Amino acid sequence: MAADFNTMELMICVAARYLEDGKTVAVGTGAPCAAAMLAQKTGAPSLVVIFEAGGLAPQLPEMPISVGDSRTFYRAVMAAGMVDAMSTCERGQVDYAFLGGAQIDRFGNINSTCIGEYEKPKVRFPGSGGANDFASFCWNTMIMTVHSKTRFVEKCDFITTPGYLTGAGAREAAGLPEGGPYKIVTDLAVMGFDEKTKAMTIESLHPHVDVDKVQSETGFELLVSDELGCTELPTEEELRILRDEVDPLRLVIGRS
């Protein structure tokens, strides 16, 4: 019988598996960091973690609260700066970056700036931070988020961070380097992007979820992969490591 887990644990375990060994990942706090730490303790022991404020390849003793706090360069190979960290991304040495946001559209564009009129917003969010840079520079960007219609929207109120912009060819036309959204892991499914159109595509459904359910929680029409799969559940071992070693204080997995 499958292990018992909450949706945060599920998302983290699923996301972690996409991080290949020997690659680099730029992470923030919370779930992305947990996914990177889990990957390091499972299939990707030599995954290199980079923080935008300058922490390079730390041996994280616990989850950071800020991407610039001491934990992010605890026993790191280098305590660098933002220019050095971001330059590493810009010249093409960072494989994955994790992003978050309030809204996401079919091309993986993200809004983390505001809802409503820009000059006097209904809701003001933090803005880009390093997200726009990561999404512009890194080869594959990943998103972990809960799946809802208010989040997966037809049109973002503001495009803070580039996905594929208006679709195939648009990044190139804008001058962005090759790269773009890779996987979106939600509490319902894993989505990728259609190779031709760059539109969001359901690739794998979580247990007890069907396409209609995912579509009903999405504000635009999703494509469905020809090779639609069923998400592999977290293993007992993954859950044990996540709970006992990665997040023993349940700072992230306790939020679900």
Partner 1 sequence: MRVLDEGKGPLFMDPDPDKAREFFRSKSRAMVDKRMSVKEAVERFVTDGCYFATGGFGANRIPTAVCHELLRQGRRGLGFSGHTTTHDFQILCAGKVFDRLDAAYIVGLEARGLSPNARRYMQSGEVQVADWSNYALAARLRAAGEGVSYGLTRSMLGTDTFTRSAAKAVECPFTGKTLCAVPALWPDVAAIHVHYADKFGNAVYKGISVADHELSRAAKHLIITTERIVDEAVIRDDPSLTSIPFYMVDAVVEVPHGSYPGNMPYLYFSDEEHLAEWMRVERDPDELERFLDKYIYGVSTFEEYVELCGGAERIEQLRKIELVEQPATPAGQGA
Q: Using CB under 8 A, which residues numbered 37 to 66 contact partner 1?
A: 46, 48, 51-59, 61-62, 64-66
The residues in 93-132 that bind partner 1, with binding defined as CB under 8 A, are: 93, 95, 109, 113, 118-132
The residues in 155-214 that bind partner 1, with binding defined as CB under 8 A, are: 158-162, 165, 170-171, 173-178
Compare residues 125 and 220 and give the one whose CB is closer to partner 1.
125
Q: How far is CA 59 from CA 29, 41, 50, 56, in A?
A: 15, 12, 11, 9
DSSP state of 113: S
- 245 catalytically annotated: no
Q: Can residue 140 be called a binding residue for partner 1 (CB under 8 A)?
A: no
Q: In the complex, what is the shortest distance from the CB of residue 115 to partner 1, in angstroms, rounded to a whole number?
A: 10
Compare residues 1 and 46 and give the one whose CB is closer to partner 1.
46
Q: Can residue 142 be called a binding residue for partner 1 (CB under 8 A)?
A: no
Among 72, 145, 218, 231, binds partner 1 (CB under 8 A): 72
Cβ atoms < 10 Å from Cβ of 139: 18
- Whose tokens are 């993954």? That residue is 238
Among 35, 37, 76, 144, binds partner 1 (CB under 8 A): 76
CA distance 41 to 185: 20
- Cβ burial of 167 (10 Å; 0-12, 13-18, 19+) is middle
Compare residues 158 and 217 and give the one whose CB is closer to partner 1.
158
CB 198 within 8 A of CB 168: yes
Q: In the complex, what is the shortest distance from the CB of residue 111 to partner 1, in angstroms, rounded to a whole number?
A: 8
CB 228 within 8 A of CB 201: no
Q: In the complex, what is the shortest distance from the CB of residue 247 to partner 1, in angstroms, rounded to a whole number?
A: 10
Strand pairing category for 189-193 and 200-205 = antiparallel
| Active site amino acids | 52
